[in-house]
Amino acid sequence: MLIQSLQVGEIGTNCYLLMDEATHEAAVIDPGDEAPRILRMAKDAGATVKYILLTHGHFDHTLGVEGVQKATGATVYIHRGDAVPKGSSFMRGYPAGPETVFYDEGTKLPLGNLTIEVMHTPGHSRGSCVLRCGDVLFTGDTLFRDSCGRTDLPGGSYGEILRSLKRLAQLEGDYKVYPGHEGFSDLDYERRNNYYMHEALRTPGI
CATH of the domain at 181: 3.60.15.10
Comparing C-alpha atoms, which of 10, 92, 4, 66 is closest to residue 40?
4
Four-point Cα dihedral 47, 49, 54, 59, nearest 10: 90
Q: What's the rounded Cα separation, in Å, for the pair 4 and 175?
A: 17
* Residue 91 pLDDT: 54
* Residue 9 pLDDT: 96
* Residue 206 pLDDT: 84
Point out the residues of the chain with pLDDT beneath 70. Answer: 85-98
Strand ranges in 67-198 using DSSP code E only, listed in sequence order? 75-79, 83-84, 94-95, 100-103, 108-111, 114-120, 129-133, 136-140, 143-144, 147-148, 176-179, 185-186
* Residue 83 pLDDT: 83
| Predicted model pTM | 0.95
Q: For residue 196, what are the domain limits? A: 2-202
DSSP 157: -
Total domains in the fold of the chain = 1
Pair type for strands 114-120 and 13-19: unpaired
